[in-house]
Amino acid sequence: MSLDLPLVAAGVIAVAVLMYVLLDGFDLGIGILFPFAKAERDRDVMMDTVAPVWDGNETWLVLGGGGLFAAFPFAYAVLMPALYLPIVVMLLALILRGCAFEFRHRARARGKAFWTAAFAGSSLVATLAQGAVLGGFIQGVKLNGRAFGGGPFDWATPYSLLVAVGLVAGYALLGAAWLVWRTEGELHGQARRWAWISAAATAALLAVVSLATLFVHPRIGGRWGFHGDGFDMAALAPLLPIPLVGLAGLLVAAWALRNPGRHHATPFIGAWIVFLSGYAGLAVSFFPDIVPYGLSFRDAANADNALALVLTGVALLLPFVLGYTVWVYWLFRGKVGRDAGYH
């Protein structure tokens, strides 16, 4: 059979990570926005909008990790030790956060205040840690043969901090846009303001991160036609639609936010487009590396028979997963008010 298994597997992992960012991004964003809500009952509503779906959203992260183990074990075996500390911090934050969903609404007064703070704090920390993972990944990982050969704090640079802050703004935008879509009344109005602020922050930080990324590694600069003193238009032109689509996403979100009363779902779609553009920009920067800048996805790929089995499972099961995920979102569609009674 002539199917290029490593390429297909790389596509599947890329889709899983993208799904994670698009889906868990907005519920992490709701946690980031938690401190800014005016009333505890507003926070109840914010949580209710994601209560039925957050668990499924986070499962994409497990597919990303488990899928990388199954499809690209050599990349998994290098990236995890290289990014040990931010990954552990992310996991610890996600543990607290997941428990906060149940505990917060079981708690009495003082406990509730604690779990409100824990939900907000751990959402922020998980996002910063994911940003550090992403920043550390973009910077590249030091290899020793096929193993990680660097130090424990290689990922900790001003660049990865910048990426982390940018991701916080981006997730806040996703969360705010989700709340614009799914809430009503005063909270909806507040969400619009949050969306404006986080959209502006996302636009600024995305621009700064994009420019900084051109300097991180000559490979990336070269791919975008940047050689330190100017752009080579012949190399840049074919990739130009990617940032332009991101810009269009921002404009769509901004346009919809200026029209209160209508287009409630549109800012969210705009925010998704921004993330899609950023993700595509990274993908073209790295391809074909799965561990920048030394291990291509082909070299990191699992044995063909293992990939064939994994991809058979994906082909059989993923359509069902996507189908019932869409169904669950559809089931819980519509505005969520204070009377939703999920909790």
Partner 1 sequence: MGVLAVGRLAVPCQAEALAPGTVMDFDALILSRLQFAFTIAFHIIFPSFTIGLASYLAVLEGLWLVTKRDAFKTLYLFWVKIFAISFGMGVVSGVVLSYQLGTNWSVFSAVAAPVIGPLLAFEVLAAFFLEASFLGVMLFGWKKVGPGLHLTATTLVALGTLMSAFWIVSANSWMQHPTGFARLPDGTLRAVDWVQVIFSPTFPERFAHMVMAAYLTTALVVGAASAWRLLRKGREDESGLALRMAIGMFAIVAPLQLFVGDLSGKEVERLQPAKLAAIEAFWETRTHQPFHILAWPDREAEGNRFELSVPALGSVLTAGSASAEVKGLKAFAPADRPPVFIVFYAFRIMVALGVAMIGLGAWGAWLMWRTPGPEANRWFLRAAVAMGPAGFVAVICGWIVAEVGRQPYVIYGVLRTADAVSPVGAGQVSASLLGFMIVYAVIFTVGVLYILRLIAQGPERIAEAPLDPNRPPGSAMAAAPREAGR
The whole-angstrom separation of Cα 28 and Cα 47 is 11
- Provide, rounded to whole angstroms, the least separation between the CB of residue 126 and partner 1: 11
Instruction: For the chain, give the longest Cα–Cα distance.
Output: 63
Query: Between residues 51 and 206, which has the closer beta carbon with respect to partner 1?
Result: 51
Nearer to partner 1, 60 or 171 (CB): 60
Residue 4, token pair as written in the block? 């290029």
What's 296's DSSP letter?
Answer: E
Q: How many CA atoms lie within 13 A of 53 on its CB side?
A: 24
Judged by beta carbon, residue 52 or residue 294, the one nearer partner 1 is 52
- Cross-strand bridge partners of residue 166: none
CB of 60 to partner 1, least distance (A): 9
Q: In angstroms, rounded to a whole number, what is the distance separating the alpha carbons of residues 91 and 7?
A: 29
> Helix or strand or coil: residue 342?
coil
> How many CA atoms does the CB half-sphere of 25 hold within 13 Å?
26
Helix (H, G, I), strand (E, B) or coil at 146: coil
**Minimum CB distance to partner 1, residue 15 (Å):** 13
The distance of closest approach from Cβ of residue 97 to partner 1 in the complex, given in angstroms and rounded to an integer, is 8
Written as one letter, the residue type at 83 is: L
Nearer CB in complex with partner 1: 269/318: 318
**Is the Cβ of residue 72 or residue 224 nearer to partner 1 in the bound state?**
72
CB of 59 to partner 1, least distance (A): 5
